[in-house]
Structure 1
Amino acid sequence: MSNWEHQYREEASAFTSPQQLDCEVLLQAKGYQPKKDIGRMLSGTSMSCALVTALLMLAHPAQHLGARTPTMTQNNEFQLSAQEIAQWQLPAPEPEIQDDPWQTLRNQVSAENYVALCQEWRQQQNNIAEQGLPRELRKAAQKRCRILP
């Protein structure tokens, strides 16, 4: 034992508490007791949580899919063959190219030719069942078509 450890133990043993303080601390500590009704509720809750966790682990889809850890190479990198990757990935859907039916009208509006826009807007105001103008064309029509006949 080193010198400073010996000095520490001597100083620590010199600390004592009065007998009256010890008795008060002991009486106060005896007053602390767990509540009886919470223990049963806490036990039931923890048991049900453990049961749900166990059921989830057993019924998880990965258990049925045959999930496994990938093989490790010498460089501690995961290695999956192209066939295994293709097995787990869905093929990317081909994007559908759709023509914009309002493109010609948009081009005319961007060229500041509002005659066709106003005609289309008036026709759609008379026929409610048709497909309405897109929002930006509708706003442009509300702003400009009051001026034109």
Structure 2
Amino acid sequence: KKLKFHLASFDMVVKERTTATAITEGTWGFEHTKACFRDDIISFVKALKELFTSFDQCLIDEVTEVQNVFKQIELAVEQHCEEKNKFQNNMENVLHENDRLLTQALSVEIMNVVVHDNVKFACLNMDVCAHCVTIESELKKDFIKKECYEMLL
């Protein structure tokens, strides 16, 4: 806005100083040109220079701010990549540990099945043996009775 205002005022000054009336009236001499430069053009150029310097500084500040924001974004992305890699490593470790525990649980389950079957088989053998002992003792009783009976006869 300032630049537009200064350019418009400079244009007006140049038109005013270079119109035909100024030339015909005889004011377009060296002194007039010197005064015009001293009063209008030099101050306008100084104001324009200050405006461009201010614009340059604002532009530099803006670029610096964008660079700082970009660096912060790069750092954040880098940090998130590191965190993602750590998380993936932890996840792999958890999965390996899970596989190990699952294998261990299956091994324990297989051992339990084998032990249970062995105990069950041993119990069956004991039941058979107990049955055999019962039958044997009954037979002994029968033999004893028979011997006693034969003796009595």
The question of a shared fold, defined as TM-score above 0.5 by the shorter chain, is answered with no
Larger radius of gyration: 2
Q: Normalising by structure 1, what TM-score?
A: 0.21
Alignment TM-score, normalising by the size of structure 2: 0.20
Q: Which has the higher contact order (CA 8 A, sep 6+)?
A: 2
Q: Which of the pair is proportionally richer in helix?
A: 2
